[in-house]
């Protein structure tokens, strides 16, 4: 599951490929999906502009690839201000945070990806900055040390997290609005890949784009990556046009099945089915068996499997459903056949 070319591989904030940045919508009107989030953001932005104030601090939650970074960029664009991008692990000490905050102009936005991974000392320094636009620091050492306060320009913090439950209560409470992004429908993904195809000047059949949308795991980032890989396949082994036939061949080569599952997903399900009789099995055990970090399994792989009803999280560990056995073509154990283990409805190809 450590394949560096995996379609599921999350990107570090500010370090995504240039082509991904080119495909990002710049305005709320161009952003597809997440209608409720868009409506609320539009009101917040318009109100802030009318009052000539910064937007309230915002928290964006949801699995990777659903548009958290894109929305942060859109808020900055709509407000006409600059966006400073960082991530929780990158802010290693209070001095690094102070440097970022003092560099912000009036109403600028600081976007912190993986905000749940901030160091405790850094997080505590962020509290007065978010509440009072001031940064407290200690000058000197020993008996002569004194606490000084540095005034900051009024600014906005936009935090993004894939694990809202790991945020401390004090930090969560300092965000004025929290939005959760959900997986996208196939028709929304079709609109996204159609737009991306136009921007990339890719000639594509509608049926081919529908197939890409259906196998994109409800995630725009994966949809755009699949489009680029199918485009390359059509150029090298086809006529250059993304046809449905070329798309089917490319997805077969990428080992993306009709549910959008990759080999890494099937390995996880196969492991639980074959070695642990369907579970329950602990996340740490799965990580060790697959040579993968447990948090990567939990944040990147599991959400879509749970949405499909192939996997369940229980207090005792992970278990698979009857649908997982059927998808893998395995004989299910008796306890699933006698119960109601088929928890999900599978999406179909267009």
Identical fold between 18-180 and 186-253: no
Predicted confidence band of residue 349 (pLDDT cuts 50, 70, 90): very low
Q: Cα 260 to the chain's mean position, in Å? A: 17
* Mean of pLDDT values over 253-274: 94
Residue 167 is predicted with a pLDDT of 92
Quick one: fold of 18-180?
A: Rossmann fold (3.40.50)
Hunting for tokens 């905050």 — which residue is that? 101
Q: Which residues are catalytic?
A: 68-69, 113, 162, 221
With contact defined as beta carbons under 8 Å apart, do 283 and 314 qualify? no
- Please tell me the class of the 186-253 domain: mainly alpha
pTM of the entire structure?
0.84
263-331 domain in CATH 1.10.10.10?
yes
Contact 31, 71 (CB under 8 A): yes
- Is the distance from CB of 196 to CB of 224 less than 8 angstroms? yes
- Average pLDDT score, the chain: 89
Query: pLDDT value at position 204?
Result: 96
* Cβ atoms 171, 71 nearer than 8 A: no
- pLDDT per position as a tens digit, 12-59: 554 556 667 788 999 999 999 999 999 999 999 999 999 999 999 999
Q: Where are the domains of the chain?
A: 18-180, 186-253, 263-331
């Amino acid at each position: 599951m450590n394949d560096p070319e995996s379609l599921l591989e999350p990107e570090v904030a500010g370090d995504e490929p240039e082509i991904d940045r080119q495909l990002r919508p710049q305005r709320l009107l161009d952003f597809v999906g997440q209608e409720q989030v868009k409506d609320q953001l539009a009101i917040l932005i318009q109100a802030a502009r009318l009052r000539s104030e910064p937007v309230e601090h915002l928290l964006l939650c949801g699995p990777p690839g659903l548009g958290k970074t894109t929305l942060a960029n859109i808020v900055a664009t709509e407000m006409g201000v600059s966006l400073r991008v960082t991530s929780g692990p990158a802010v290693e000490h209070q001095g690094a945070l102070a440097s970022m905050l003092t560099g912000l102009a009036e109403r600028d936005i600081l976007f912190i990806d993986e905000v749940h991974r901030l160091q405790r000392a850094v997080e505590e320094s962020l509290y007065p900055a978010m509440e009072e636009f001031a940064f407290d620091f200690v000058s000197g050492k020993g008996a002569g040390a004194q606490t000084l306060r540095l005034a900051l320009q009024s600014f906005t913090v936009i935090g993004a997290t894939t694990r809202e439950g790991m945020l401390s209560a004090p930090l969560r409470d300092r965000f004025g609005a929290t939005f959760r992004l959900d997986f996208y429908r196939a028709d929304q993904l079709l609109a996204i890949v159609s737009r991306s195809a136009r921007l990339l000047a890719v000639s594509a059949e509608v049926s081919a784009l529908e197939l890409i949308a259906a196998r994109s795991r409800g995630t725009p980032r994966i949809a755009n990556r699949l489009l680029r890989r199918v485009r390359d396949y059509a150029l090298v082994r086809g006529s250059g046009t993304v046809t449905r036939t070329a798309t089917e061949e490319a997805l077969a080569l990428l080992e993306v099945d009709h549910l959008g599952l990759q080999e890494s997903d099937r390995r996880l399900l196969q492991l639980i089915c074959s070695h642990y009789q369907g579970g329950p099995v602990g996340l740490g055990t799965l990580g060790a068996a697959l040579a993968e970090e447990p948090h990567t399994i939990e944040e990147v792989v599991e959400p879509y499997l749970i949405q499909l009803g192939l996997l369940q999280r229980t207090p005792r560990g992970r278990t698979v459903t009857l649908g997982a056995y059927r998808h893998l073509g395995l004989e299910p154990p008796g306890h699933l056949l006698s119960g109601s283990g088929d928890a999900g409805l599978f999406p179909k190809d267009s």
